[in-house]
Structure 1
């Protein structure tokens, strides 16, 4: 199953890339939302191989996820691989310079179940895909708007 979204931001590519690779700031935002996140390797380096462990509640249960930045091609693309139980996800973040002052961010997340319970979860997500995609795109638009506002002032 795939979820896709893309948004345009009124900011140069290099500034957008710098902001979305500010992982310490992103970690603080995630912590404020009640998700436990901890970097599992050197916090000083930004690039391929960065990894995190996250803990969160989903459907009444506490879950954990291992997340790794598996591909890093500055300033165009980042690919994150994550595993939570029997569910694997691959999230690709693409940045494209539309002009000197405009950047397009594209996010594609692909879910791959590896166990029966993960298959059941993905099947239930597929049944609700319309609403899920709508929320995903709405959340992406909100995040892009926040990013644009931060970069403006």
Structure 2
């Protein structure tokens, strides 16, 4: 099952990439939403091999998620692979400079079930696909607006 979205941001690509790859801020945001996030690598700067373990409640159950950065090409692309209870996820974050002060953020997310229970979960998600697509697009639009606001404050 795949989700994808594109959002245009009024900020230079380097600035947007710096905000998107501010993993400490992303970790704090996850903590504010009730997730427990722990960094599992010892890298001093962002790069391939960064790893996190996250624990959170979803659909009434405690979930464990292991995330690893598999590609890192500043200022254009990052890719993450995650595993949670038989469900593998591949997420690609791509930035394209449309002009000096405008950047397109593309996010592609693919869910790959690797167990029977994960297949059942993905099947139930497919039944609610329209609703999930709408929520995904709205959340990514909010995230893009937040990035734009943070970029404006930084200048």
**Shared topology, TM-score over 0.5?**
yes
Deviation at 1:26, TM superposition (A): 1.0
Distance 1:19 1:61 in 2: 31
Identify the residue that residue 132 of structure 2 maps to in structure 1. Answer: 132
Task: Confirm whether residue 112 of structure 1 aligns to residue 109 of structure 2.
Answer: no
Map 1:1-153 onto structure 2 (within 5 A).
1-42=1-42, 44-153=44-153
Number of paired residues? 153
Q: TM-score of the superposition, structure 1-length normalised?
A: 0.98
Distance 1:54 1:5 in 2: 24
1:8-30 Cα deviation digits (max 9, x unpaired): 00000000001111111111111
Structure 2 residue matching 1:7: 3-state secondary structure: strand
Where does structure 1 lack aligned partners over 5 or more consecutive residues? Answer: none
Q: For the aligned residues, what is the CA RMSD?
A: 0.7
Distance 2:43 2:33 in 1: 21
Deviation at 1:42, TM superposition (A): 1.4
Distance 1:49 1:122 in 2: 27
